[in-house]
Amino acid sequence: MSKELEKTYNPSEIEDRLYQKWLDNKYFHAEVDHSKKPFTIVIPPPNITGKLHMGHALDETLQDILIRFKKMQGYNTLWQPGTDHASIATEVKIIEALKEEGIEKEDLGREKFLERAWEWKEEYGGTIVSQLKKLGSACDWDRERFTMDEGCSKAVEEVFIKLYEKGYIYKGSRIINWCPVCQTSISDAEVEHVDQAGHFWHIKYPVAGTDDYLEIATTRPETMLGDTAVAVHPDDERYTHLVGKMLELPLCGRQIPIVADEYVDKEFGTGAVKITPAHDPNDFEVGRRHGLPVINVMNDDATINENGGRYEGMERYEARKAIVKDLEEQGYLVKIKEHEHNVGTHDRCKATIEPMVKPQWFVKMDELAKPAIEAVKNGDIKFVPERYTKTYLHWLENIRDWCISRQLWWGHRIPAYYCDECGETVVAKEKPEVCPKCGCTHFTQDEDTLDTWFSSALWPFSTLGWPEQTEELDYFYPTNVLVTGYDIIFFWVVRMVFSGYEHTGKAPFDTVLIHGLVRDDKGRKMSKSLGNGIDPLEVISQYGADALRFTLVTGNAPGNDMRFYMERVEASRNFANKVWNASRFMMMNFEQADFSHVELSDLTSADRWILSKFNTLAKDVTDNMDKYELGIAVQKLNDFIWEEFCDWYIEMVKPRLYNDEDNTKAAALWTLKKVLSESLKLLHPFMPFITEEIYCNLTGEESIMLASWPEYREEYSFAREEAAVELMKEAVRGIRNIRAEMNVSPKKKAKVFVVSENEDVRDIFEQGKVFFGTLGYASEVAVRADREGIAEDAVSTMVPDAVIYMPFAELVDIEKEIERLKKEQKKLGGEIKRCEGMLNNERFLSKAPEQKVEEEKEKLSKYRQMLEKVEERLGQLVK
């Protein structure tokens, strides 16, 4: 027998209690079980520096919905959790903390610094995990991993050595993103492109031995110190006669060649481009094609180095001012144009990135990319929505070698050792005892650590025990769905795919579900600088996790950004309250009632209608969820529970519930409980807490998480009854519309006549008299084949094959209605006279704005129509 719910729904009282219950009972934990089919999701590991933001909340909510859905379908579900060590972000945090103590990183030394880093991780690394729990995340916390734990570190080491031995990892000098503040190379993922106001400086480069010159335009004059050529398009007739000639590089005393290269856009700027291979990725490629020298003119802190001549030691922007001044004084500066351009900045410290050629460790991508391309082309891996396939393939087909070394201390240290005597490089798990080249016994390990993405690329299989061939790896891998934002397709998704194929021979997952960003109500990206971020924990504290989750999924479509409105959160909370209050009402009626003996044959047309509607809903929601259309699924649930079940069916059956003599009362109670319990199951993945609380109190079962997902059942399909009740609903809407137009109070009852020549239609209304009368505010329902005996003044509404009549005198007090209509007639007459006066006034017509004149014409037309209706009604009443 069901227990009574608390009078009001209080999420803060139930959510923590229920989450602890789930943990205590290990409902989230998965063990290898070959009698069940596995379903696995790996969490995109949040940074240990992180705090839950709306992007996390959306990402984790979508994963949680899928896990809970699949668990109820009978799958052995594993949602593998963990966190990322986030090299740069964490190191920056620790350095900031040290500075507050007056300590520099270098003063502490590497070993002591790492001790502090691990202490910091232990203290703050669990923050986001506890916040994920507040959201209701059904992660298997017993299996929680960290990208620098012993198992993941072993996998990283194994992969590095394996790829090095295959010749896929090498050390070389190539162009990379360099942060002069953090003093490290960074990945493309950590470069944030922002529009900045800048300039185009137009500079003359004299053609050696002539009075001629080329005009180039640059946004970074300081890099001209490292120019080694100027490029023009081979088809640009303005410059073909100059290709192969030399230019005098202003201020530098060097000569550089003019080369022809199709990289140049001859329509952009002057059509002549300065080539600085050491400080621009495109220039670097041009330089390689033409065998140009690479001249780096910057130190690691972005000051000019010894290659910069008299500008040596200047900070880059200081050097820029000095160079521009000298160019102007020496007659090389043609003009300066203002120019808005896209500038790469480090997303952590906001410093402008300096592209630089530096010796770094790289992964050769040509061969690794091939199976990752093929997997998507042949359908082994699918993107939802499918359009992101193009984004993925475009990046992979144009991929460059991956810079994997970082000049940081926090992270996986590169397992490369250099012989102190001859410089021989040895890549190994342990420091070598003897140099294989010279026999020396002294080695120094490479100072660099690996890019954080190197370890997270292995996440789907390193978390399951790889490189060991564990039982978990064999059972739960490959995983099923990866849920992530479109902003890290390149940086993470691609790397997991090629890593999966290279190291396991299998795709790491079969589906990539892409979601968009959560933007503010104005459509802006949430950011600290704008101050428009909304803290999910504050929303949870005020409205509950269920309301936040429901809001994030409502209207959500794969791949699309969404706007976050607090009004929607309130609407979600109102929905939760509706479910709670309706459940409480039903459960109060279930007390002391025995309806266990009810058969389907006992159900009325109303009962069969709602059961049939639910049956279709179960099928539709399952189909939507299988297609990852979670926003559509949740909208269908909202509409069914709020409108069909609460607003229609509960109101339909109330007369039966309040009448102990009604022999269909037990059928009504059975149907209420059946549809409520099954609807809660469909709703559970979206709103896990409220559904758990109601379901357990309703059924006495241990947990809704252990319940079976509702499936379509042929015996619950009642097409005839559905059509019958929908017909009566249409009649009720017609009655309500008439009464609303006539301002009739719901308290005032009136006789309702249903007239139809169709016997089947008459039977429908006869059988549904009880609830049709209640919903239609009827004092009595009379069903007949013709209109005989119905007053001439009766108002009517039509439905297919029937007309519904209500005697006018029973709806309104005729004398009062005549009085009201006469007042309305007088008021409308006055408004018409005023409008006509204005529109007949030549002065008004000549001076008033055209829009104002049109407004008055529209008002006059509307008032005349309203007056016509009022006078028609008066004509009917005044005989």
pLDDT by residue (tens digit) across 88-131? 889 888 988 899 999 988 889 999 999 999 999 998 888 999 99
Q: Which fold, 815-877? A: Helix Hairpins (1.10.287)
What is the Cα–Cα distance from 14 to 766, expressed in whole angstroms?
45
Q: In terms of Cα–Cα distance, which of 191, 174, 136, 179 is closest to 23?
A: 136
What is the Cα–Cα distance from 205 to 56, expressed in whole angstroms?
52
Please, what sign has the CA dihedral across residues 84, 87, 93, 98? positive
Asked if 203 and 333 count as a contact pair (C-beta separation under 8 A), the reply is yes
Asked if 87 and 410 count as a contact pair (C-beta separation under 8 A), the reply is yes
Pairing of strands 795-799, 778-784: unpaired
What is the Cα–Cα distance from 136 to 64, expressed in whole angstroms?
8
The structure tokens listed for 653 are 């059956």
User: In this prediction, what percent of the chain has a pLDDT beyond 90?
Assistant: 73
User: Per-residue pLDDT for 525 more than 90?
Assistant: no
**How does residue 2 score in pLDDT terms, banded at 50, 70 and 90?**
low
Helices 630-639 and 545-553 pack at an angle, to 10 degrees, of 120
For the chain, domain boundaries: 32-158+458-536, 194-347, 722-812, 815-877
pLDDT by residue (tens digit) across 186-232? 887 778 888 888 889 999 999 999 999 999 999 999 999 999 999 99
Domain 722-812 coded CATH 2.60.120: no
Q: In terms of Cα–Cα distance, which of 172, 227, 233 is closest to 400?
A: 172
Q: Which fold, 194-347? A: Isoleucyl-tRNA Synthetase; domain 2 (3.90.740)
CA 783 and chain centroid, separation:
54
- Of 47-51, 331-335, 575-579, the one with minimum mean pLDDT is 47-51
Q: In terms of Cα–Cα distance, which of 56, 39, 77 is closest to 130?
A: 56
Cβ-Cβ contacts under 8 Å for 655 (sequence gap 6 or more): 662, 770, 771, 774
Strand intervals (E) in 56-144:
76-80, 82-83
Number of H helices, E strands in the chain: 30, 29
The structure tokens listed for 286 are 């041009």
User: Per-residue pLDDT for 246 more than 80?
Assistant: yes
H/E/C letters for each residue in 362-406? EECCHHHHHHHHHHHHCCCCEEECCCHHHHHHHHHHCCCCEECEE
Cβ–Cβ contacts within 10 Å for residue 310, how many?
11
What's the pLDDT at 486?
A: 87
Q: What is the CA radius of gyration of the chain?
A: 37
What is the Cα–Cα distance from 458 to 288, expressed in whole angstroms?
32
Binding residues: 528
What's the pLDDT at 44?
A: 94
Q: Which ranges of 25-72 would DSSP assign to H, the alpha helix?
A: 54-72
pLDDT by residue (tens digit) across 131-187? 999 999 999 999 999 999 999 999 999 999 999 999 999 999 988 999 998 889 988
**How does residue 742 score in pLDDT terms, banded at 50, 70 and 90?**
confident
Query: Class of the 32-158+458-536 domain?
Result: alpha beta
User: Per-residue pLDDT for 1 more than 60?
Assistant: no
User: Per-residue pLDDT for 683 more than 90?
Assistant: yes
> If you average pLDDT over every residue of the chain, what do you get?
92
Binding residues for ATP: 528
526 vs 432, residue with greater confidence: 432
pLDDT by residue (tens digit) across 270-320? 899 999 999 999 999 999 999 999 999 999 999 999 999 999 999 999 999
User: In this prediction, what percent of the chain has a pLDDT beyond 70?
Assistant: 99
